[in-house]
Amino acid sequence: MYDVIIRDGTIVRSSGRLVADIGIEDGKIAYVGGNPAGSAKEEISAIGRFVMPGVIDTHVHFRDPGNPDKESWATGSVEALRGGVTTVFDMPNTNPPTIDRATVDAKLAKAAANSVVNYGIWAGATAESIPQINDLWDSGVICGTKVFMGDSTGALAVTPEVLEGVFSKTKGLIGVHAEDQPALDAAHKKWAGHPNPVHNDVRPPEAVVLAVEKLIELVKQTGREVHICHLSTAGELAALDAYRGDLPITCEVTPHHLFLSTDNAGELGNLIKVNPPVRTELDRRAVMAALKRGRLDTFGSHHAPHTMEEKMQDYWQAPSGLPGVGTMLPLVLGALKNGRIGLELMVSMLSENPARIFGLYGKGCIEEGADADLVLFREGVTTRLTQEMVKCHCGWSPFVGREVGVPPDIVMVNGHIAARNGVIGNDLPLGKQVRFTGR
Ligand code: DOR
Ligand code: ZN
């Protein structure tokens, strides 16, 4: 007997669509096809609904350990669920930073005890962490090494030596926040006396382009796999274009770089202060065009909440970062309705590609044996995000007023129905640590 049968849903894969029934048993997909034999404890009719594998957000900055009042694994993972995200990877710039066996184990213990979605964590690249990364990678406890080229929140900015060391001495996937520190320093100096500059001038596009050019050189020399986080400019796209498919470089894009610009959201001031910055409309359109042409590989929310109080300080005091793990899928569904992205591309970027790039076991697909992380949703039904709809822990979103998809009908994590129509279930089971293939 199945735990759940989802009947007549349209399963979306990058390769096409298929109307089928899905049988779920013990947290796994046990059957995909027509009319499964046997019964189920619960049957769900998915006629007129699409079914995709759960969204995998490989870029969140929960604040636990360090600042759980701001965002804990409990609050962040519930917000993830609201947006159809069933797996998150947390970034290492927490306090203490996640840079060795002890801090990795401590963060994993927090996640294990509190996260209602599946989880993985990144290790941060520092002089101290480099000798430990291979062991962490081989033992399957990290999803990759995160390199902060350029300072941002936290103290993980790499020196040129650490950057070289990551490429020459470690193994595994390298995720990069790519901003060139000397370029950031020069622009910072120029604007330092200004009371209220535009963040995109203080951390200008040249900084990301220089960093990406440096990365391309390092990948050419070493053949290492690099995932560029939050690509935000036409310049980066131009630098990468010639190598797409030839070098093992993949790219993430965030909703804020796709939907917000200094032109269309400048009045939000520090609420859109984020590193790398929200760019001009020209850059935003270039990134949107690249998305349509299939040049970007994954969506990441870069969920990095700060309180409204902190954001209301003056420009130089206000921290960088904005919430987004719960609004990513709704915003992409809004773009889907407006023809800016197709269903198949959406599913590949939200789920299939992250599973493939990170080598996730049992994720990113709807087939027998896979984990039953599923999202049932409607296409073409949208609404405007209102302040009342914003439920994230920090209580604000830069996307209020934007067109978003209505909440998914169902979000299932490990075979358990965790949310229905945006309403989160009670007494949710805890998520599981992700596993990797081929290590
Ligand atoms: O704006 C940002 N905020 N960029 C980062 O790289 C880190 C993040 C945070 O943790 O607040
Ligand atoms: Zn980040």
pLDDT at 286: 98
pLDDT at 152: 87
- Domain limits at 394? 2-51+368-422
Whether residues 96 and 235 share a domain: the answer is yes
Whether residues 302 and 340 share a domain: the answer is yes
Average pLDDT value for the chain: 98
Q: Would you say residue 258 lies in a domain?
A: yes
Whether residues 46 and 106 share a domain: the answer is no
Q: Is the CB of 304 under 6 A from ligand 1?
A: yes
Residue 359 has pLDDT above 90, yes or no: yes
Q: Is the CB of 153 under 6 A from ligand 1?
A: yes
Q: Would you say residue 38 lies in a domain?
A: yes
Q: What is the CATH number of the domain that holds 261?
A: 3.20.20.140
Final residue in a domain of this structure, among 358, 386, 411? 358
- Name 367's Cβ contacts closer than 8 Å, sequence gap at least 6: 29, 32
How does DSSP assign 342-362, residue by residue? -HHHHHIIIIIHHHHHTTBTT
Q: Would you say residue 428 lies in a domain?
A: no
Task: Using the mean position of ligand 1's atoms as its centre, give its distance from the Cα of residue 94 in Å.
Answer: 10
pLDDT tens-digit map of 342-357 = 999 999 999 999 999 9
Q: Is the CB of 133 under 6 A from ligand 1?
A: no
Task: Using the mean position of ligand 2's atoms as its centre, give its distance from the Cα of residue 377 in Å.
Answer: 28
Structure tokens at 343: 């269903």
Whether residues 196 and 312 share a domain: the answer is yes
Q: Give percent of the chain with pLDDT exceeding 70.
A: 100
- Count Cβ atoms below 10 Å from residue 189 Cβ, excluding itself: 9
> Kind and range of the H or E element at 419?
strand 416-420
Q: Is the CB of 274 under 6 A from ligand 1?
A: yes
pLDDT at 2: 98
Whether residues 189 and 176 share a domain: the answer is yes
Integer Cα distance of 229 and 371 in angstroms:
26
Structure tokens at 349: 């970027």
Q: Would you say residue 99 lies in a domain?
A: yes
Whether residues 104 and 17 share a domain: the answer is no
Whether residues 216 and 165 share a domain: the answer is yes
What pTM, to 2 d.p., does this model score? 0.98
Residue 154 has pLDDT above 90, yes or no: no
Q: Is the CB of 270 under 6 A from ligand 1?
A: no
Whether residues 322 and 260 share a domain: the answer is yes
Q: Would you say residue 363 lies in a domain?
A: no
* Ligand 1 pocket test target in 94, 229, 310, 320 with most atoms within 8 Å of CB: 320
Domain count of the fold of the chain: 2
Residue 340 has pLDDT above 90, yes or no: yes
Q: Would you say residue 411 lies in a domain?
A: yes
pLDDT grade for 190, boundaries at 50, 70 and 90: very high
Q: Would you say residue 427 lies in a domain?
A: no
Q: Would you say residue 297 lies in a domain?
A: yes
pLDDT tens-digit map of 203-225 = 999 999 999 999 999 999 999 99
